[in-house]
Amino acid sequence: MLKIEKLKKQFGGLVALNGIDLHVPPNHILGVIGMNGSGKTTMLNCVNGLYTPTEGRILLQGRDITGLPVEQVARAGVGRTFQVPRVFPHMTLLDNLDVSQLQKGRSAEERYQHSVEWLERVELYRLRHNMAEELSGGQQKLLELARIMVSRPKVVLLDEPFAGVNPGLAQLLIAIIKTLPTEHDCSVVLVSHDLTSIYQLSHHIIVMNEGAILCQGSADTVRNDPAVIEAYLGA
Ligand SMILES: Nc1ncnc2c1ncn2[C@@H]1O[C@H](COP(=O)(O)OP(=O)(O)OP(=O)(O)O)[C@@H](O)[C@H]1O
């Protein structure tokens, strides 16, 4: 589904990504963990077109999307959420979801149906006529996820979805993320410092360190890897 080949990103003399190779199969959740500054967000930024890689290739279902602008990457089927959620604050929840579908060639009725389906899914339907700015930070994260999902992406990049989210909403987010591959036919790249959620949700985990993959495998593999314990998980 998503393939990353020898991905490198430099900012002047700083090597943020130093040759990442990665394969995310269809309907899989890839968990990404690593120290602050290890390159996790930079990798997502390269995949969704915010950054142009210095070297390497990014393939979506075999199609080379390296260096395409953000809108084209989104149209190709890559959805992305941010550490600080990006919603349209002065629009209602319904309108936030509606505008995300305008490129899809759906009728107003179809768009409305999709919006309602996702607002119910993220338990925000009762607030559908409220402005997005009235939501809590955690609710905005749920709205942002709904906004991504109404356009039926093939790959969803989630950057710190649980950060700053209260435990109740975090549980709801976890439950929804779990269903994305099975019920919504997409793959997920999940960047998080929340190891419990990463272990719970991920089919495969990579641990990043200084722009490279330090270790990868199942939750058990990662948990017990001596290099990971030393570099990341600590004592
Ligand atoms: N636009 C930029 N310009 C210059 N340096 C950058 C830029 N974006 C990221 N970096 C640098 O690249 C390195 C990797 O940063 P990145 O944000 O990808 O790490 P991260 O693993 O996501 O960290 P965190 O867990 O703190 O979010 C850091 O040294 C960071 O300062």
Give the pLDDT confidence of 92-114 residue by residue, as tens digits: 999 999 999 988 888 999 999 99
Q: With a 6 A CB cut-off, is 9 part of the ligand 1 pocket?
A: no
230 CA → ligand 1 middle, Å: 21
Give the pLDDT confidence of 31-68 residue by residue, as tens digits: 999 989 999 999 999 999 999 999 999 999 999 999 99
11 CA → ligand 1 middle, Å: 9
Give the pLDDT confidence of 113-138 residue by residue, as tens digits: 999 999 999 999 999 999 999 999 99
Q: With a 6 A CB cut-off, is 34 part of the ligand 1 pocket?
A: yes
Task: Give pTM, 2 decimals.
Answer: 0.94
Residue 84, helix vs strand vs coil: coil
Rounded Cα distance, 23 and 216, in Å: 12
- Structure tokens belonging to residue 219: 């939750």
Percentage of the chain lying above the pLDDT 70 cut: 98
Which sign does the torsion angle of CA 180, 184, 188, 192 carry? negative
pLDDT at 234: 58
49 by Cβ neighbours in 10 Å (0-12 / 13-18 / 19+) ranks as: buried
The preferred substitution site among 7, 8, 10, 14 for testing ligand 1, maximizing ligand atoms within 8 Å of CB, is 14
Task: List 190's β-bridge partners, or say none.
Answer: 31, 158
pLDDT at 235: 40
The residue segments making up the domain with residue 185 are 2-233
Nearest-CA residue for ligand 1 atom 7 is: 11
Structural domain count of the chain:
1
Residue bearing tokens 């793959």: 187
Q: What is the CATH number of the domain that holds 106?
A: 3.40.50.300
Q: Is the pLDDT of residue 232 over 80?
A: no
Q: Is the pLDDT of residue 233 over 80?
A: no
- The per-residue pLDDT of the chain, averaged, comes to 94
Give the pLDDT confidence of 135-169 residue by residue, as tens digits: 999 999 999 999 999 999 999 999 999 998 999 99
The preferred substitution site among 20, 42, 82, 213 for testing ligand 1, maximizing ligand atoms within 8 Å of CB, is 42
Percentage of the chain lying above the pLDDT 90 cut: 91
pLDDT at 27: 96
